[in-house]
Structure 1
Amino acid sequence: MYEHGSTHPADSTSPTDHTAAAGGPAEHRRSPFRRAVVRRVLPAVVAAGLGVTGFAGLAHGTPAGPSAAATKLTRDTATAATTVSARASGAGSVRRAAAADFPTWGTRWVVHATTDAGSPAVGMINKTAPGQDRITADYQVDTGRKVCEGSACSTFMAHLTGPVTGFLSVVAVDIPQDRLPGVPVQGGGGQPQPGGSRQEMLNRAATWLTANNGSQVPYSQAKVWKDGYRQDCSGYASMALGLPTPGTNTVGLATNRGITRPLALGELKPGDLLIDAAGDNNNRHVVIFEKWNNDAHSSYTAYEQRGGHGTDHRTLTYGLPGGDAEFKPYRPVTFGD
């Protein structure tokens, strides 16, 4: 076993670990979209689905039925087994193997023809009741234009394949993130944006080795780095994966099936994670697998953010026979395999 403290990183992963840091654990324990919302009334023409040209701001209209706060919402994210074909106006044609399924909240969210929130409406989600519809989405686009409802904000628009085909603000989706977990991100031209591949993940991990004026980013459970991510191991892994700032915690990385799934040790590929999610914030840890060091798989090279040192790139045996058995392998679902 490793020695806790200086040689093995402390990771802020308990429900109260991050309360003193920016973006504490409440973000990961309670959805920011589950709240009472002060509604704004859109013109009747929008509610009728005739268009929202000239309207800037919210993407939904007058509520019907009980408020979002009174709606019992689920947190599950499932994957449909069918192949979908997405066609976006001005974004070309793309093909995806599966669409991800998510719950929604609130009422009368407008689905738009394009990623422009001012584009014509092509349908509506939750017409008569809060959270009435679940949506399926095969990709999402970072528009760079923020849409907010209450304290929940997102620049992402999800391309829906059901129950309506079109684009919907991710603010309407009942998840604790500002983007859809495990759903590919595309640019406005229909091409994948940087950050989706294993190598791009490893490249991001490597940036913290020299980000501190040529030195590694120092370890901290309470501080965030210049890019907005916590300076502990789970914040570091979240940064490499491109998850929302300040990053989820180690338990979230291991248990949120919208982020990772378990796999066998022999299936490890570059960019996969080895996670010890047991214990408390003094011994939980996550490292980013890069490569096996030999054919016998007796050690591997990994990136990690460890206590007493900071960002490191070194040989490890966590999770291997003879190493720390608490570490289990996981695959980020963003890789699609």
Structure 2
Amino acid sequence: MDEHSSTHPADTTTPAGRSAPMTRHPQSPFRRTVWRTVLPAVAAAGISVAGFAGFAHGSEVSSATAEGHAATADKLSHDSSPTGSARTVRAAGTGSIRQAAAADFPTWGTRWVVHATADTSSPAVGMINKTAPGQDRITADYQVDTGRKACEGSSCSAFMAHLTGPVSGFLSVVAVDIPQDRLPGVPVQGGGGQPQPQPGGSREEMLNRAATWLTADNGSQVPYSQAKVWKDGYRQDCSGYVSMALGLPAPGTNTVGLATDRGITRPLSVGALKPGDLLIDASGDNNTRHVVIFEKWNNDAHASYTAYEQRGDHGTDHRTLTYGLPGGDAEFKPYRPVKFGD
């Protein structure tokens, strides 16, 4: 939540664009009914859903749209802490626990939007089946129970899958051609529509999420505020922004929490900074504390770096900084998100 602004010139960026609106086509009630009625029995017999991909793709399909919602909050909890969950699933018929792997599923319909977070109101990061139904198959490593059901015809689901391909982001399970309302054999994370921190998360994925706020306000940066939350449920201040990029529970922890909670970060040396690491000034009050996301060094001498930040009187920015470097603001210390696993 904590912030102070400065006057460094902003860097030029290439923001990610928002995807085009989805279209609709007639749906085949017979296809959806048969698929969702027959397959549970097939799965019980030990035949994989993926083996019936040809049957699904050869049927009449439709496009779909998931219901969006605007996140609202009357009171903000600035000191929320992350809650993890086990990345394991129980092997069917064995009673044993095994490590979950990314699962592959067929899709149906066209123009399904992939979102930055597990919220259909969050920025778009890509699209599935852009021009024809069943063009893409998705892989997912976990899913989130959003608590808000999205429907297309007789198919409904409150779950959003975290995709590892062909686009990284979150997709409504309604878009997946399966008989269930959730992905079978894929771990469920958290609830209430908010993604939970994941061990071994991708630095690139974090930076991609950070970049979405540069254009999320109808092509402009998300405005700064210590009191308001954005459409994805995160506070519009520096620590809320970093919480969003890391996938921490909304509305986000505060700057002190980002620096002191060892379930979120650990200290490191300036010379060890990598893309996605943080530089944090956790001293003082909400008018002086600040956090930025390190992206890259600007030169071999490490005299400056490029960072993402949410700053007062401006909003989301991507620019050159020297916080924490010799000659810069010495109050800033480097930290590494533990989700990166190194």
Q: TM-score, normalised by structure 1?
A: 0.50
Unpaired runs of 5+ in structure 2? Answer: 9-72, 102-140, 148-158, 161-186
CA-to-partner distance for each residue in 1:16-49, whole Å, 9 max, x for gaps? xxxxx645236538x9x9xxxxxxxxxxxxxxxx
Q: Work out whether residues 181 and 258 of structure 1, in 8 Å CA contact, stay in contact via their aligned partners in 2.
A: no
CA-to-partner distance for each residue in 1:156-196, whole Å, 9 max, x for gaps? 9xxxxxxxxxx89979xxxxxx8875545xxxxxxxxxxx2
Question: Structure 1 residues 4, 253: CA separation in 2 closer, same or farther (over 3 Å shift)?
Answer: closer
Aligned to 1:25: 77
193, 202, 205: which one aligns with 1:197? 202
Offset of 1:87 from its aligned partner?
6.4
Aligned to 1:284: 289
Any idea what SS the aligned residue of 1:238 has?
Answer: helix
Aligned to 2:143: 142
C-alpha separation between the residues in 2 aligned to 1:89 and 1:274?
A: 42
- 1:24 counterpart letter in structure 2: L
C-alpha separation between the residues in 1 aligned to 2:78 and 2:211?
A: 29
Q: Work out whether residues 303 and 313 of structure 1, in 8 Å CA contact, stay in contact via their aligned partners in 2.
A: yes
C-alpha separation between the residues in 1 aligned to 2:259 and 2:220?
A: 29
Unpaired runs of 5+ in structure 1? Answer: 9-20, 34-76, 78-83, 97-139, 147-154, 157-166, 172-177, 185-195
- 2:229 counterpart letter in structure 1: V
Q: Work out whether residues 142 and 189 of structure 2, in 8 Å CA contact, stay in contact via their aligned partners in 1.
A: no
Q: Work out whether residues 277 and 293 of structure 2, in 8 Å CA contact, stay in contact via their aligned partners in 1.
A: yes
240, 249, 253: which one aligns with 1:244? 249
Any idea what SS the aligned residue of 2:80 has?
Answer: helix
C-alpha separation between the residues in 2 aligned to 1:85 and 1:279?
A: 38
C-alpha separation between the residues in 2 aligned to 1:7 and 1:145?
A: 39
C-alpha separation between the residues in 1 aligned to 2:281 and 2:337?
A: 15
C-alpha separation between the residues in 1 aligned to 2:302 and 2:317?
A: 20
- 2:206 counterpart letter in structure 1: M
76, 88, 91: which one aligns with 1:89? 91
Question: Structure 1 residues 265, 23: CA separation in 2 closer, same or farther (over 3 Å shift)?
Answer: farther
Q: Work out whether residues 258 and 265 of structure 2, in 8 Å CA contact, stay in contact via their aligned partners in 1.
A: yes
C-alpha separation between the residues in 2 aligned to 1:213 and 1:179?
A: 24
CA-to-partner distance for each residue in 1:230-264, whole Å, 9 max, x for gaps? 00000000000011110000000000000000001
C-alpha separation between the residues in 1 aligned to 2:266 and 2:207?
A: 19
Aligned to 1:135: none
C-alpha separation between the residues in 1 aligned to 2:313 and 2:87?
A: 49
Q: Work out whether residues 182 and 259 of structure 1, in 8 Å CA contact, stay in contact via their aligned partners in 2.
A: no
Any idea what SS the aligned residue of 1:301 has?
Answer: strand
215, 218, 238: which one aligns with 1:213? 218
Q: Work out whether residues 196 and 249 of structure 2, in 8 Å CA contact, stay in contact via their aligned partners in 1.
A: no
Q: Work out whether residues 250 and 286 of structure 1, in 8 Å CA contact, stay in contact via their aligned partners in 2.
A: yes
Offset of 1:92 from its aligned partner?
10
C-alpha separation between the residues in 2 aligned to 1:86 and 1:329?
A: 32
Q: Work out whether residues 145 and 188 of structure 2, in 8 Å CA contact, stay in contact via their aligned partners in 1.
A: no
Q: Work out whether residues 239 and 253 of structure 2, in 8 Å CA contact, stay in contact via their aligned partners in 1.
A: yes
Question: Structure 1 residues 168, 308: CA separation in 2 closer, same or farther (over 3 Å shift)?
Answer: closer
C-alpha separation between the residues in 1 aligned to 2:87 and 2:217?
A: 44
Any idea what SS the aligned residue of 1:240 has?
Answer: helix
Question: Structure 1 residues 93, 225: CA separation in 2 closer, same or farther (over 3 Å shift)?
Answer: same
Offset of 1:144 from its aligned partner?
2.3
Aligned to 1:230: 235
Instruction: State percent identity of aligned pairs.
Output: 70
Q: Does 1:326 align with 2:328?
A: no
Question: Structure 1 residues 265, 145: CA separation in 2 closer, same or farther (over 3 Å shift)?
Answer: closer
C-alpha separation between the residues in 1 aligned to 2:213 and 2:189?
A: 32
**What RMSD in Å do the two structures reach over aligned CA positions?**
4.1
- 1:25 counterpart letter in structure 2: S
- 2:324 counterpart letter in structure 1: G
Question: Structure 1 residues 145, 253: CA separation in 2 closer, same or farther (over 3 Å shift)?
Answer: closer
Aligned residues: 200
